[in-house]
Chains A and B, each alone.
Chain A
Protein backbone atom coordinates (compact mmCIF):
# COMPACT_ATOMS: atom_id res chain seq x y z
CA UNK A 1 0.00 0.00 0.00
CA UNK A 2 1.38 3.35 -1.02
CA UNK A 3 0.11 5.93 1.42
CA UNK A 4 0.18 9.47 0.20
CA UNK A 5 -0.14 11.70 3.28
CA UNK A 6 -1.42 14.57 1.14
CA UNK A 7 -4.33 12.59 -0.27
CA UNK A 8 -7.50 12.59 1.80
CA UNK A 9 -9.45 10.04 -0.23
CA UNK A 10 -8.36 6.41 0.08
CA UNK A 11 -6.55 5.04 -2.94
CA UNK A 12 -7.99 2.29 -5.14
CA UNK A 13 -5.71 -0.24 -3.42
CA UNK A 14 -6.77 0.89 0.07
CA UNK A 15 -10.42 0.68 -0.87
CA UNK A 16 -9.85 -2.79 -2.30
CA UNK A 17 -8.33 -3.93 1.02
CA UNK A 18 -11.42 -2.58 2.82
CA UNK A 19 -13.72 -4.47 0.44
CA UNK A 20 -11.71 -7.69 0.89
CA UNK A 21 -12.35 -7.49 4.64
CA UNK A 22 -16.04 -8.12 3.83
CA UNK A 23 -15.51 -11.19 1.60
CA UNK A 24 -16.21 -14.20 3.81
CA UNK A 25 -14.66 -17.63 3.49
CA UNK A 26 -17.37 -19.84 1.92
CA UNK A 27 -16.70 -22.78 4.26
CA UNK A 28 -15.99 -20.83 7.45
CA UNK A 29 -18.26 -17.80 6.99
CA UNK A 30 -17.21 -16.30 10.33
CA UNK A 31 -13.95 -14.97 8.94
CA UNK A 32 -13.01 -12.91 5.90
CA UNK A 33 -10.40 -13.85 3.34
CA UNK A 34 -8.29 -11.05 4.82
CA UNK A 35 -8.60 -12.47 8.34
CA UNK A 36 -7.37 -15.82 7.02
CA UNK A 37 -4.33 -14.28 5.36
CA UNK A 38 -5.31 -15.63 1.95
CA UNK A 39 -4.95 -12.21 0.31
CA UNK A 40 -1.22 -11.66 -0.05
CA UNK A 41 -1.16 -8.44 -2.04
CA UNK A 42 -3.23 -5.93 -3.97
CA UNK A 43 -1.26 -4.32 -6.77
CA UNK A 44 -2.18 -1.14 -8.58
CA UNK A 45 -1.18 -1.48 -12.24
CA UNK A 46 1.69 0.76 -13.24
CA UNK A 47 1.15 3.70 -15.56
CA UNK A 48 1.06 2.53 -19.14
CA UNK A 49 0.06 -0.99 -18.12
CA UNK A 50 -1.83 -2.61 -20.99
CA UNK A 51 -3.96 -5.04 -18.95
CA UNK A 52 -7.12 -3.17 -19.94
CA UNK A 53 -8.15 -3.55 -23.56
CA UNK A 54 -11.15 -1.25 -23.36
CA UNK A 55 -10.34 2.35 -24.18
CA UNK A 56 -11.00 4.75 -21.32
CA UNK A 57 -11.19 1.92 -18.77
CA UNK A 58 -8.56 1.82 -16.02
CA UNK A 59 -5.96 -0.97 -16.07
CA UNK A 60 -6.78 -4.14 -14.13
CA UNK A 61 -6.15 -4.28 -10.39
CA UNK A 62 -4.16 -7.39 -9.44
CA UNK A 63 -5.28 -9.32 -6.36
CA UNK A 64 -2.81 -11.95 -5.22
CA UNK A 65 -4.29 -14.95 -3.39
CA UNK A 66 -2.56 -17.96 -1.89
CA UNK A 67 -4.37 -21.32 -1.71
CA UNK A 68 -4.86 -22.83 1.77
CA UNK A 69 -4.84 -26.55 0.91
CA UNK A 70 -3.87 -28.09 -2.46
CA UNK A 71 -7.29 -29.63 -2.92
CA UNK A 72 -9.46 -27.07 -1.13
CA UNK A 73 -12.65 -26.83 -3.19
CA UNK A 74 -13.29 -23.33 -1.80
CA UNK A 75 -10.33 -21.85 -3.70
CA UNK A 76 -12.26 -21.28 -6.92
CA UNK A 77 -15.29 -19.92 -5.07
CA UNK A 78 -13.05 -17.49 -3.19
CA UNK A 79 -11.51 -16.27 -6.45
CA UNK A 80 -14.98 -15.65 -7.82
CA UNK A 81 -16.26 -13.91 -4.66
CA UNK A 82 -13.20 -11.66 -4.40
CA UNK A 83 -13.53 -10.49 -7.99
CA UNK A 84 -17.28 -9.96 -7.69
CA UNK A 85 -16.88 -7.84 -4.52
CA UNK A 86 -14.11 -5.67 -5.96
CA UNK A 87 -16.01 -5.06 -9.18
CA UNK A 88 -19.28 -4.38 -7.30
CA UNK A 89 -17.45 -1.70 -5.29
CA UNK A 90 -16.57 0.03 -8.55
CA UNK A 91 -12.87 -0.83 -8.28
CA UNK A 92 -12.73 -3.03 -11.38
CA UNK A 93 -11.55 -4.25 -13.66
CA UNK A 94 -9.56 -6.67 -11.54
CA UNK A 95 -7.95 -10.06 -11.89
CA UNK A 96 -6.70 -12.71 -9.49
CA UNK A 97 -3.30 -14.33 -9.56
CA UNK A 98 -2.36 -17.34 -7.40
CA UNK A 99 0.89 -17.33 -5.48
CA UNK A 100 1.91 -20.76 -4.19
CA UNK A 101 5.18 -19.81 -2.49
CA UNK A 102 5.62 -19.26 0.34
CA UNK A 103 2.94 -21.79 1.24
CA UNK A 104 -0.02 -20.54 3.27
CA UNK A 105 0.22 -21.16 6.99
CA UNK A 106 -2.32 -20.73 9.78
CA UNK A 107 0.24 -18.38 11.36
CA UNK A 108 -1.07 -15.80 8.85
CA UNK A 109 -4.54 -15.79 10.41
CA UNK A 110 -4.94 -12.39 12.11
CA UNK A 111 -5.64 -11.98 15.83
CA UNK A 112 -9.05 -10.64 14.87
CA UNK A 113 -9.62 -13.74 12.73
CA UNK A 114 -8.67 -16.01 15.65
CA UNK A 115 -11.13 -14.20 17.91
CA UNK A 116 -13.87 -14.60 15.29
CA UNK A 117 -13.14 -18.33 14.92
CA UNK A 118 -13.37 -18.80 18.68
CA UNK A 119 -16.65 -16.87 18.87
CA UNK A 120 -17.95 -19.07 16.01
CA UNK A 121 -17.15 -22.21 18.04
CA UNK A 122 -13.95 -23.27 16.27
CA UNK A 123 -10.81 -23.57 18.39
CA UNK A 124 -8.21 -21.45 16.60
CA UNK A 125 -4.87 -22.98 15.59
CA UNK A 126 -1.77 -22.75 17.74
CA UNK A 127 1.58 -21.94 16.14
CA UNK A 128 2.39 -24.08 13.10
CA UNK A 129 5.31 -26.45 13.43
CA UNK A 130 8.46 -25.13 11.81
CA UNK A 131 9.33 -26.63 8.43
CA UNK A 132 11.64 -29.21 9.88
CA UNK A 133 11.20 -32.86 10.72
CA UNK A 134 8.23 -33.23 13.06
CA UNK A 135 8.38 -36.24 15.36
CA UNK A 136 5.37 -38.54 15.07
CA UNK A 137 3.22 -39.02 18.14
CA UNK A 138 0.84 -41.87 18.55
CA UNK A 139 -2.76 -41.47 19.57
CA UNK A 140 -4.62 -42.33 21.73
CA UNK A 141 -1.57 -42.40 23.95
CA UNK A 142 -1.50 -39.30 26.15
CA UNK A 143 1.13 -37.32 24.31
CA UNK A 144 -0.74 -34.21 23.27
CA UNK A 145 1.77 -31.41 23.83
CA UNK A 146 -0.61 -28.48 24.20
CA UNK A 147 -4.02 -28.70 25.86
CA UNK A 148 -6.68 -27.24 23.62
CA UNK A 149 -9.31 -25.06 25.27
CA UNK A 150 -12.98 -25.76 24.56
CA UNK A 151 -14.42 -22.78 22.64
CA UNK A 152 -17.69 -23.21 24.54
CA UNK A 153 -16.70 -23.51 28.22
CA UNK A 154 -12.96 -22.85 28.13
CA UNK A 155 -12.01 -26.11 29.83
CA UNK A 156 -8.74 -27.68 28.72
CA UNK A 157 -10.05 -31.13 29.62
CA UNK A 158 -10.49 -31.99 25.94
CA UNK A 159 -9.52 -34.78 23.56
CA UNK A 160 -9.21 -35.25 19.82
CA UNK A 161 -11.80 -37.48 18.20
CA UNK A 162 -10.53 -37.36 14.63
CA UNK A 163 -7.64 -35.73 12.80
CA UNK A 164 -9.86 -34.73 9.88
CA UNK A 165 -13.13 -32.83 9.95
CA UNK A 166 -15.86 -31.36 7.81
CA UNK A 167 -13.35 -29.35 5.75
CA UNK A 168 -9.69 -29.88 4.89
CA UNK A 169 -8.57 -27.33 7.47
CA UNK A 170 -10.28 -28.72 10.58
CA UNK A 171 -10.11 -31.61 13.08
CA UNK A 172 -12.86 -32.89 15.39
CA UNK A 173 -12.43 -32.62 19.18
CA UNK A 174 -14.64 -32.97 22.19
CA UNK A 175 -14.79 -31.32 25.58
CA UNK A 176 -14.90 -33.81 28.43
CA UNK A 177 -16.07 -31.09 30.87
CA UNK A 178 -19.12 -29.77 29.00
CA UNK A 179 -19.59 -32.88 26.81
CA UNK A 180 -19.81 -30.87 23.59
CA UNK A 181 -17.93 -31.73 20.42
CA UNK A 182 -16.13 -28.87 18.68
CA UNK A 183 -13.95 -28.23 15.68
CA UNK A 184 -10.28 -27.26 15.72
CA UNK A 185 -8.63 -25.25 12.96
CA UNK A 186 -5.48 -27.33 12.41
CA UNK A 187 -2.13 -25.55 12.54
CA UNK A 188 -0.37 -26.05 9.21
Chain B
Protein backbone atom coordinates (compact mmCIF):
# COMPACT_ATOMS: atom_id res chain seq x y z
CA UNK B 1 0.00 0.00 0.00
CA UNK B 2 1.16 3.51 -0.80
CA UNK B 3 0.87 6.01 2.01
CA UNK B 4 -1.41 9.02 1.56
CA UNK B 5 0.11 12.38 0.72
CA UNK B 6 -0.33 15.19 3.23
CA UNK B 7 -2.00 18.19 1.67
CA UNK B 8 -1.02 21.76 2.48
CA UNK B 9 -4.47 23.31 2.85
CA UNK B 10 -3.72 26.81 1.65
CA UNK B 11 -6.90 28.71 0.67
CA UNK B 12 -5.95 29.05 -3.02
CA UNK B 13 -5.20 25.32 -3.18
CA UNK B 14 -8.54 24.47 -1.60
CA UNK B 15 -10.34 26.89 -3.90
CA UNK B 16 -9.01 25.17 -7.03
CA UNK B 17 -9.50 21.68 -5.60
CA UNK B 18 -13.17 22.40 -4.85
CA UNK B 19 -13.80 22.74 -8.58
CA UNK B 20 -11.16 20.22 -9.70
CA UNK B 21 -12.46 17.52 -7.34
CA UNK B 22 -16.07 18.24 -8.32
CA UNK B 23 -15.10 17.61 -11.97
CA UNK B 24 -13.15 14.49 -10.99
CA UNK B 25 -15.81 12.80 -8.86
CA UNK B 26 -18.62 13.61 -11.29
CA UNK B 27 -16.51 12.08 -14.08
CA UNK B 28 -16.07 8.95 -11.96
CA UNK B 29 -19.84 8.74 -11.43
CA UNK B 30 -20.58 9.28 -15.15
CA UNK B 31 -18.06 6.58 -16.01
CA UNK B 32 -20.36 4.08 -14.25
CA UNK B 33 -22.69 4.45 -17.24
CA UNK B 34 -20.10 3.14 -19.67
CA UNK B 35 -21.76 0.11 -21.26
CA UNK B 36 -25.00 0.61 -19.29
CA UNK B 37 -26.79 3.70 -20.64
CA UNK B 38 -30.30 3.26 -22.07
CA UNK B 39 -29.12 3.77 -25.68
CA UNK B 40 -25.72 3.76 -27.35
CA UNK B 41 -25.78 7.49 -28.16
CA UNK B 42 -26.27 8.34 -24.48
CA UNK B 43 -23.60 5.89 -23.40
CA UNK B 44 -21.22 7.80 -25.67
CA UNK B 45 -22.52 11.19 -24.57
CA UNK B 46 -22.12 10.56 -20.84
CA UNK B 47 -18.60 9.18 -21.22
CA UNK B 48 -17.65 12.06 -23.54
CA UNK B 49 -18.79 14.50 -20.85
CA UNK B 50 -16.79 12.49 -18.30
CA UNK B 51 -13.71 12.71 -20.52
CA UNK B 52 -13.97 16.50 -20.72
CA UNK B 53 -14.39 16.65 -16.94
CA UNK B 54 -11.30 14.52 -16.36
CA UNK B 55 -9.32 16.80 -18.67
CA UNK B 56 -10.50 19.88 -16.77
CA UNK B 57 -9.74 18.19 -13.46
CA UNK B 58 -6.22 17.20 -14.58
CA UNK B 59 -5.41 20.80 -15.45
CA UNK B 60 -6.84 22.16 -12.19
CA UNK B 61 -5.15 19.53 -10.00
CA UNK B 62 -1.83 20.22 -11.71
CA UNK B 63 -2.22 23.95 -11.04
CA UNK B 64 -3.31 23.32 -7.43
CA UNK B 65 -0.20 21.17 -6.93
CA UNK B 66 2.02 23.95 -8.28
CA UNK B 67 0.43 26.50 -5.94
CA UNK B 68 0.71 24.07 -3.04
CA UNK B 69 4.47 23.93 -3.64
CA UNK B 70 5.14 20.44 -2.29
CA UNK B 71 5.84 18.82 -5.62
CA UNK B 72 2.51 16.93 -5.81
CA UNK B 73 1.45 16.22 -9.39
CA UNK B 74 -2.05 15.57 -10.77
CA UNK B 75 -1.83 11.81 -10.24
CA UNK B 76 -0.74 12.07 -6.62
CA UNK B 77 -3.52 14.55 -5.95
CA UNK B 78 -6.12 12.41 -7.73
CA UNK B 79 -5.16 9.06 -6.22
CA UNK B 80 -3.22 9.50 -2.99
CA UNK B 81 -5.25 11.86 -0.84
CA UNK B 82 -7.34 10.79 2.13
CA UNK B 83 -11.08 11.35 1.96
CA UNK B 84 -11.02 14.50 4.08
CA UNK B 85 -8.55 16.15 1.69
CA UNK B 86 -11.05 16.02 -1.19
CA UNK B 87 -13.14 19.18 -1.53
CA UNK B 88 -15.81 18.35 -4.12
CA UNK B 89 -19.42 19.28 -3.47
CA UNK B 90 -21.39 16.40 -1.94
CA UNK B 91 -23.89 16.49 -4.83
CA UNK B 92 -21.49 14.73 -7.23
CA UNK B 93 -20.85 11.84 -4.80
CA UNK B 94 -24.47 10.79 -4.64
CA UNK B 95 -25.30 7.54 -6.40
CA UNK B 96 -25.98 8.14 -10.06
CA UNK B 97 -24.97 5.07 -11.99
CA UNK B 98 -27.17 2.07 -12.73
CA UNK B 99 -25.42 -0.09 -10.14
CA UNK B 100 -25.40 2.41 -7.31
CA UNK B 101 -29.13 2.99 -7.16
CA UNK B 102 -29.29 6.03 -9.43
CA UNK B 103 -31.10 6.29 -12.71
CA UNK B 104 -30.83 8.23 -15.95
CA UNK B 105 -33.16 10.99 -14.74
CA UNK B 106 -31.08 11.74 -11.66
CA UNK B 107 -27.93 11.62 -13.78
CA UNK B 108 -29.09 14.21 -16.32
CA UNK B 109 -30.68 16.43 -13.69
CA UNK B 110 -27.46 16.46 -11.65
CA UNK B 111 -25.51 17.16 -14.84
CA UNK B 112 -27.77 20.14 -15.50
CA UNK B 113 -27.25 21.52 -11.99
CA UNK B 114 -23.47 21.06 -12.06
CA UNK B 115 -22.90 22.13 -15.69
CA UNK B 116 -24.92 25.32 -15.27
CA UNK B 117 -22.98 26.17 -12.13
CA UNK B 118 -19.63 25.24 -13.69
CA UNK B 119 -20.37 27.33 -16.78
CA UNK B 120 -20.97 30.40 -14.62
CA UNK B 121 -17.85 29.67 -12.58
CA UNK B 122 -15.59 29.02 -15.60
CA UNK B 123 -16.90 32.20 -17.22
CA UNK B 124 -15.64 34.20 -14.24
CA UNK B 125 -12.40 32.21 -13.92
CA UNK B 126 -11.65 33.16 -17.53
CA UNK B 127 -10.59 36.56 -16.14
CA UNK B 128 -8.70 35.11 -13.16
CA UNK B 129 -5.56 36.89 -11.95
CA UNK B 130 -3.86 33.49 -12.30
CA UNK B 131 -2.99 33.25 -16.01
CA UNK B 132 -2.94 29.44 -16.01
CA UNK B 133 -6.38 29.21 -14.40
CA UNK B 134 -7.69 31.76 -16.91
CA UNK B 135 -6.33 29.66 -19.78
CA UNK B 136 -7.86 26.43 -18.42
CA UNK B 137 -11.18 28.23 -18.03
CA UNK B 138 -11.13 29.48 -21.63
CA UNK B 139 -11.14 25.91 -22.90
CA UNK B 140 -13.48 24.47 -20.27
CA UNK B 141 -16.10 27.12 -20.94
CA UNK B 142 -16.51 25.93 -24.53
CA UNK B 143 -16.91 22.33 -23.37
CA UNK B 144 -19.31 22.94 -20.51
CA UNK B 145 -21.80 24.70 -22.81
CA UNK B 146 -22.28 21.39 -24.61
CA UNK B 147 -22.68 19.57 -21.29
CA UNK B 148 -25.33 22.01 -20.13
CA UNK B 149 -27.24 21.87 -23.40
CA UNK B 150 -27.18 18.07 -23.41
CA UNK B 151 -28.47 17.82 -19.84
CA UNK B 152 -31.10 20.52 -20.37
CA UNK B 153 -32.47 18.75 -23.46
CA UNK B 154 -32.93 15.57 -21.46
CA UNK B 155 -34.51 17.25 -18.45
CA UNK B 156 -37.10 18.78 -20.80
CA UNK B 157 -37.71 15.51 -22.62
CA UNK B 158 -38.10 13.47 -19.44
CA UNK B 159 -40.27 16.02 -17.63
CA UNK B 160 -42.42 16.52 -20.72
CA UNK B 161 -42.37 12.84 -21.71
CA UNK B 162 -44.21 9.80 -20.38
CA UNK B 163 -45.84 9.30 -16.99
CA UNK B 164 -42.88 7.22 -15.87
CA UNK B 165 -40.21 9.64 -17.10
CA UNK B 166 -42.02 12.45 -15.30
CA UNK B 167 -42.18 10.44 -12.06
CA UNK B 168 -38.47 9.77 -12.30
CA UNK B 169 -37.49 13.37 -12.89
CA UNK B 170 -39.78 14.47 -10.03
CA UNK B 171 -38.14 11.92 -7.72
CA UNK B 172 -34.67 13.04 -8.83
CA UNK B 173 -35.52 16.67 -8.17
CA UNK B 174 -36.85 15.85 -4.70
CA UNK B 175 -33.69 13.90 -3.87
CA UNK B 176 -31.05 16.24 -5.34
CA UNK B 177 -32.35 19.75 -4.76
CA UNK B 178 -31.23 20.15 -1.15
CA UNK B 179 -27.64 19.39 -2.20
CA UNK B 180 -27.53 22.29 -4.66
CA UNK B 181 -27.28 24.82 -1.81
CA UNK B 182 -23.63 23.83 -1.34
CA UNK B 183 -22.81 25.16 -4.84
CA UNK B 184 -23.37 28.65 -3.46
CA UNK B 185 -21.82 28.41 0.00
CA UNK B 186 -19.18 31.03 0.69
CA UNK B 187 -16.53 31.10 3.39
CA UNK B 188 -12.99 32.37 4.06
CA UNK B 189 -11.59 30.29 1.19
CA UNK B 190 -13.53 31.95 -1.59
CA UNK B 191 -13.48 35.33 0.13
CA UNK B 192 -9.71 35.22 -0.23
CA UNK B 193 -9.99 34.04 -3.83
CA UNK B 194 -12.18 36.99 -4.61
CA UNK B 195 -9.81 39.40 -2.85
CA UNK B 196 -6.79 38.10 -4.76
CA UNK B 197 -8.64 37.99 -8.09
CA UNK B 198 -8.21 34.21 -8.37
CA UNK B 199 -11.94 33.63 -8.75
CA UNK B 200 -15.44 34.63 -7.61
CA UNK B 201 -17.27 33.95 -4.39
CA UNK B 202 -19.57 31.03 -5.03
CA UNK B 203 -22.50 32.85 -3.39
CA UNK B 204 -22.41 35.33 -6.26
CA UNK B 205 -23.27 32.56 -8.73
CA UNK B 206 -26.63 31.79 -7.15
CA UNK B 207 -28.84 34.40 -8.84
CA UNK B 208 -27.63 33.75 -12.42
CA UNK B 209 -27.82 29.98 -11.76
CA UNK B 210 -31.41 30.19 -10.56
CA UNK B 211 -32.29 32.26 -13.63
CA UNK B 212 -30.86 29.66 -16.03
CA UNK B 213 -32.33 26.68 -14.18
CA UNK B 214 -35.64 28.53 -14.05
CA UNK B 215 -35.59 28.92 -17.85
CA UNK B 216 -35.02 25.19 -18.37
CA UNK B 217 -37.63 24.28 -15.75
CA UNK B 218 -40.08 26.64 -17.48
CA UNK B 219 -39.60 24.69 -20.71
CA UNK B 220 -39.87 21.40 -18.81
CA UNK B 221 -42.91 22.30 -16.72
CA UNK B 222 -41.00 21.86 -13.46
CA UNK B 223 -41.00 24.20 -10.47
CA UNK B 224 -38.04 25.29 -8.37
CA UNK B 225 -38.50 23.63 -4.96
CA UNK B 226 -38.50 25.52 -1.66
CA UNK B 227 -35.17 26.13 0.07
CA UNK B 228 -34.13 23.82 2.85
CA UNK B 229 -31.99 24.42 5.93
CA UNK B 230 -29.88 21.36 5.10
CA UNK B 231 -26.30 22.07 4.04
CA UNK B 232 -23.94 19.42 2.72
CA UNK B 233 -20.26 19.90 3.52
CA UNK B 234 -18.10 18.20 0.88
CA UNK B 235 -16.24 21.43 0.05
CA UNK B 236 -14.95 21.40 3.64
CA UNK B 237 -13.76 17.81 3.30
CA UNK B 238 -16.66 16.27 5.24
CA UNK B 239 -18.34 13.88 2.85
CA UNK B 240 -21.34 11.59 2.54
CA UNK B 241 -21.15 7.87 3.20
CA UNK B 242 -20.77 7.29 -0.55
CA UNK B 243 -17.39 8.98 -0.90
CA UNK B 244 -15.29 6.23 0.64
CA UNK B 245 -16.67 3.68 -1.83
CA UNK B 246 -15.91 5.96 -4.78
CA UNK B 247 -12.35 6.47 -3.58
CA UNK B 248 -11.75 2.79 -2.99
CA UNK B 249 -12.69 2.18 -6.64
CA UNK B 250 -10.68 5.14 -7.92
CA UNK B 251 -7.59 4.63 -5.80
CA UNK B 252 -7.33 0.86 -5.81
CA UNK B 253 -4.77 0.53 -8.61
CA UNK B 254 -2.41 3.28 -7.46
CA UNK B 255 -2.56 2.12 -3.86
CA UNK B 256 -1.93 -1.52 -4.76
CA UNK B 257 0.60 -0.93 -7.55
CA UNK B 258 2.36 2.34 -6.65
CA UNK B 259 3.39 4.39 -9.67
CA UNK B 260 1.74 1.95 -12.07
CA UNK B 261 1.24 3.38 -15.55
CA UNK B 262 -0.44 2.20 -18.74
Chain A residues in the interface with B (C-beta under 8 A): 67, 69-73, 100-105, 128-129, 131, 134, 136-140, 161-166, 168, 172, 186, 188
Contacts and interface: CB of A to CB of B under 8 A. Distances in A.
A138 B152 contact: yes
Contact of A139 (B134, B140, B153, B212): B153
Interface of B: 41-42, 44-45, 48-49, 51-56, 58-59, 131-132, 134-136, 138-143, 145-146, 148-150, 152-153, 156-157, 212, 215-216, 219
B139 A104 contact: yes
Identify the 4 closest CB pairs spanning chains A and B, nearest first.
A71-B55, A70-B55, A162-B41, A100-B135
What does DSSP make chain A's interface, helix, strand, loop or mixed? Answer: loop
Given A70-B143, A162-B41, A138 B156 contact: yes
A163 B135 contact: no
B138 A69 contact: no
Given A69-B51, A136-B212, A168-B51, 14 more contacts: A67-B139, A69-B143, A70-B143, A71-B56, A100-B132, A100-B138, A104-B139, A136-B215, A137-B149, A161-B41, A162-B45, A163-B146, A164-B41, A164-B48
Given A71-B55, A101-B135, A136-B152, A164 B49 contact: yes
A136 B132 CA distance: 29
A176 B163 CA distance: 30
B131 A165 contact: no
B59 A138 contact: no
Residue from B52, B135, B139, B140 with most neighbouring chain A CB atoms (10 Å): B139
B51 A73 contact: yes
Given A136-B215, A163-B45, A172-B41, A71 B53 contact: yes
Contacts of A139: 153
Nearest to B27: A71
Nearest to B145: A134
